[in-house]
Amino acid sequence: MIEKGIMHYRNSGALGRLQKVFWVVSLAVLLTFFLPQRASAHAQYVRSNPPKDATLQSGKAPASVQVWFSEEVEPDFSKLEVYNQQRQQIDLKDSHVTYGDQKSMQISLPPDLPDGPYTVVFRNVSREDGHSNVGSFSFLVGKGTLPTDTSALISKLQPVENFNGWSISIRWLNYLGVAGLVGSLAFLLLVWRPVAARLFAREAISSGLNDIGAGIEKYVYRVILGSLGVLILGWLMFLFYQTYVVGGGDFFQQLSSGSWRSLLLSSRFGSIWLLRLGLIVLALFLGLSLRYTGRKISDSLLSWILLLAGLGIVITTSLNSHSSGTAMPWLSLPSDMLHFGATSFWIGGLLALLLTILVAWRVLKPGAGDRTRFLAILIPRFSVIAGICVAVLVITGSVQAYFLLGSFAAFLNNAYGVTLTIKLAVFVGILVLAAFHLLRISPLMKRFAQSNDEEQGASSLVAGRIQRAFRRSLRGELLFAVALLGVVGILTSLSPPPQGGSGSGSIERTGTAGDISYKMVITPGMVGSNTFGLYLKDASGKPVEKAENVIARFTMLDMDMGILDVKLEPVAETPGLYRATDNVISMSGDWQATLIIMRPGVDDVRASFKFVVK
C-alpha cells in the first residue's frame, strides 16, 4: 500500500546530494551574518549642522541649517522648516537639496537671529523606495533649555504611514501579476516543452498528448493576459498611492495642483514608473500577438521576447526596493533582482503545474497508467527548475538579510525583522512540501511507471492514491506561495531598522515641563531590559520628593504596539530620583516617551521626547 511503498523507498544518492547542498548553503548563511553589520533604512536623519541638541555661543546663530540623510531624497517633495520657541517659522523658506549631494538638504536663516532654542522639522521622500519620513531636532543659541515636545510641529508634516492596507494590497497585486506572467511563461518554455518532447519520444502515454498540449497553452495564455491585466491595474494604483504619499495624505490637493506631473516627470519614482509601464505595454502587445503567429506559444520566438520583457518588469521592481538604498547597491540590487525573479519562476510555475495536471487529468483516463507515466516525467523536470530557484532564493535572501538587518538578533527585535521571520517560516513550509514531492512522490511515480504490476504498477490503486495526495499537496504549496507574496507585500511596506544595528550606550534627555526640570537616563538604551532613571528638580533647584505618581509612557512610532506605561518609584537614598527596570522597549526603531508627574494640590506635569533604539 501507499504507506508501505513510501517507507521502503530509499534514495541515498538524492539525499546525499541534498545534504551537501544544505551544508554549503548553511555555511554561506552563517558566514553572511558573521560579517560586519551594514543594515539599511529609509531616508533617516544621519547628522546636521548645527548638530542635534547643540548649544551655540550667544550671538553666534548659524546662517543656515544643513541636514544629511541616509538615502537620496526627492527634491520636489522634501523640505526643511525652522521654528523658534513660540512655534513661529523663522527660516527664509528656501529649503532645497544641496547641489551635488542628493542626501543633503539646506535652508537659510535670517541674519541677527536672537538667542534661544530652535527646532528644525524635516519631511522627505526617499528616491530609493518612495517612502516618506518626518522628524525633528533642536539646537540652542546662548542660554536656555532645548524644547522637549515638538509633536505639534511634526504633526503639520506628518507622513503617510507606509504600513497600511492600501500599500500592502497594491504591492501584493503587483507581485502576483509578475509571478503569473514570468512563472507561467517560464514553465511553458523550460518545463513543458522538454516534457512534451520526452513524452512523445518515449510514447509514455497512449494518446491525447496533442490535446494536453493545446489545453495547457490555452490556460497559460489566459494566465499571461490575466497577469498583464493585474499588472496594469496594480501599477496605476501604485501611481495614485505614491501621489497620496508625497502629498502627505492629501491626494486630491496633489491632483488639483498638478504635483502628480512633477512626481511622474521629475522624480526617480516617475522614471521607474514610466519604464515599467512601457515594459507592461510591450508585454501586452507581445501577448496579444502570440494568438496571430500561427504557431504554438511554446514554439514562438515572441514567447522568449515576452519572457525577457517580464524579467525587465522584475528589474524595475528591484529598482524601487529597499535594496537600492544599501551601502553596496552594486551587490544588493542584482541580488534582489535574482531573488524576485526566482520567486516569480517558482510561484508562477506552481500555478502552471497545477493547471497542467488539471488539463492532463481531463484527457488521460484513470486506471490506464498514463497519469502515472505522465507525472513520472513531469515532476522531475519541474523539480530541477524549482531546485535552482530554491538555491538562488536561499543565497540571495541571505545577502538581502545581511544588508537590511545585519545580524541574527535583528530578526526578532523590530517589525521588519519579525515580518521577515514570518516570511522565512512560510518559505520553509513551501520547501517542505516541495521536498516531499521531489524525494517521495517523484521516485514513487517513476518506480510505478516502470511496472505493470496490479498492486505496485502504473495503473494500481496505490499509484492513484499517491496522485491524489500529490494534487492536494500541490494545491497547499500554491496557497502557501500566494500567502508568501502577501507577506512580501507587508515586508516592502515596512522600513528596515536604522543603520548601526544593535548599538549600546545610555539614552539621555533633559528638559523642562511647567515648573519642573528633568533628566531622563535609559540604560543601556537597547532592546530588552532597561533601567529608567528620572531626576526631578523644581523651579528653585530643589529635588522633587513628594510626587504621588511618576509614570513614563512609551509609544512605538514605527508600528502600533499600544500605550506602554512604566511606573517609576522614588529612590530613598537619592532625593528627586525615580527609577524602574522594565523590558518595555521590545523593538528597535523610533520611540516616544511621555513623562507624567503627579503631585498633590498641583496640576499634573507632562513632557514628551523622542528617541531611537538601534
CATH of the domain at 513: 2.60.40.3340
Given a cut of 80, is residue 510 above it in pLDDT? yes
Q: 269 lies in a domain?
A: yes
Q: Indicate the number of domains in the chain.
A: 3
Q: Are 134 and 123 in contact (CB under 8 A)?
A: yes
Distance in angstroms (rounded) separating the CA atoms of residues 531 and 522: 6
Q: 299 lies in a domain?
A: yes
Longest dimension (CA), the chain: 99
Domain that residue 535 falls in: 507-613
How confident is the model at residue 353, as a pLDDT? 94
The overall average pLDDT reported for the chain is 82
How confident is the model at residue 31, as a pLDDT? 40
How confident is the model at residue 153, as a pLDDT? 64
What's the mean pLDDT in 227-253?
A: 82
What's the mean pLDDT in 438-449?
A: 88
Amino acid identity, residue 502? Answer: S
Residues 445 and 569 occupy one common structural domain = no
Percent of the chain exceeding pLDDT 70 equals 84
Is the Cα dihedral 389, 418, 493, 130 positive or negative?
negative
Given a cut of 50, is residue 21 above it in pLDDT? no
Q: 10 lies in a domain?
A: no
- Mapped onto helix, strand or coil, the DSSP state of residue 267 is coil
Given a cut of 50, is residue 35 above it in pLDDT? no
What's the mean pLDDT in 374-397?
A: 90
Residues 481 and 581 occupy one common structural domain = no
- Mapped onto helix, strand or coil, the DSSP state of residue 41 is coil
Residues paired with 519 in a beta bridge: 510, 535
**Higher model confidence: residue 569 or residue 12?**
569
Residues 113 and 196 occupy one common structural domain = no
Residues 50 and 171 occupy one common structural domain = no
Boundary-marking domain end, from 155, 187, 208: 155
Estimate to the nearest angstrom the gap between the alpha carbon of 524 and the chain centroid. Answer: 29
Residues 97 and 221 occupy one common structural domain = no
What's the mean pLDDT in 53-62?
A: 86
Residues 319 and 201 occupy one common structural domain = yes
Q: 68 lies in a domain?
A: yes
Distance in angstroms (rounded) separating the CA atoms of residues 566 and 500: 27
Q: 6 lies in a domain?
A: no
How confident is the model at residue 239, as a pLDDT? 87
Q: What is the per-residue pLDDT across 71-118, written as a single tens digit (0 to 9) for each?
A: 889 888 899 999 998 889 999 999 999 988 899 999 999 998 999 999
- What is the DSSP secondary-structure string of 422-472? HHHHHHHHHHHHHHHIIIIIHHHHHHHHT---TTTSTTSHHHHHHHHHHHH
Distance in angstroms (rounded) separating the CA atoms of residues 43 and 124: 7
Q: What cell does 377 get?
A: 516525467
Task: Give the highest mean pLDDT range of 2-16, 37-51, 151-165, 406-420.
Answer: 406-420
What is the pTM assigned to this prediction? 0.66
Q: 245 lies in a domain?
A: yes
What's the mean pLDDT in 515-537?
A: 86
Boundary-marking domain end, from 444, 461, 493: 493
Task: Give the highest mean pLDDT range of 38-42, 290-294, 301-305, 404-408.
Answer: 301-305
Residues 399 and 523 occupy one common structural domain = no
Which phi and psi angles does 168 have, rounded to 5°?
A: -65, -45
How confident is the model at residue 134, as a pLDDT? 81
Given a cut of 70, is residue 250 above it in pLDDT? no
Q: 500 lies in a domain?
A: no
- Mapped onto helix, strand or coil, the DSSP state of residue 609 is strand
What's the mean pLDDT in 154-170?
A: 69
- Mapped onto helix, strand or coil, the DSSP state of residue 460 is coil
Q: 279 lies in a domain?
A: yes
How confident is the model at residue 499, as a pLDDT? 47
For position 118, which CATH number holds? 2.60.40.1220
Residues 66 and 151 occupy one common structural domain = yes
Residues 127 and 211 occupy one common structural domain = no
Q: What is the per-residue pLDDT across 181-210, written as a single tens digit (0 to 9) for each?
A: 999 999 999 999 999 998 888 776 767 888
Residues 365 and 413 occupy one common structural domain = yes
Boundary-marking domain end, from 155, 179, 209: 155
How confident is the model at residue 28, as a pLDDT? 42
Of 30-44, 308-322, 564-578, 596-610, least confident by mean pLDDT is: 30-44
Distance in angstroms (rounded) separating the CA atoms of residues 352 and 365: 21
Q: What cell does 191 get?
A: 518545463
Distance in angstroms (rounded) separating the CA atoms of residues 157 and 350: 45
What's the mean pLDDT in 335-351?
A: 92
Residues 173 and 265 occupy one common structural domain = yes
Given a cut of 90, is residue 277 above it in pLDDT? yes
Given a cut of 90, is residue 248 above it in pLDDT? no
Of 68-82, 235-249, 416-430, least confident by mean pLDDT is: 235-249
What's the mean pLDDT in 112-125?
A: 90
User: Considering only CA atoms, which of 333, 330, 338, 299 is closest in space to residue 319?
Assistant: 333
**Higher model confidence: residue 329 or residue 41?**
329
How confident is the model at residue 400, as a pLDDT? 79
Residues 528 and 601 occupy one common structural domain = yes
**Which residues are CB-contacts of 356 (< 8 A; sequence separation ≥ 6)?**
187, 192, 212, 216, 378
Task: Give the highest mean pLDDT range of 32-36, 299-303, 353-357.
Answer: 353-357
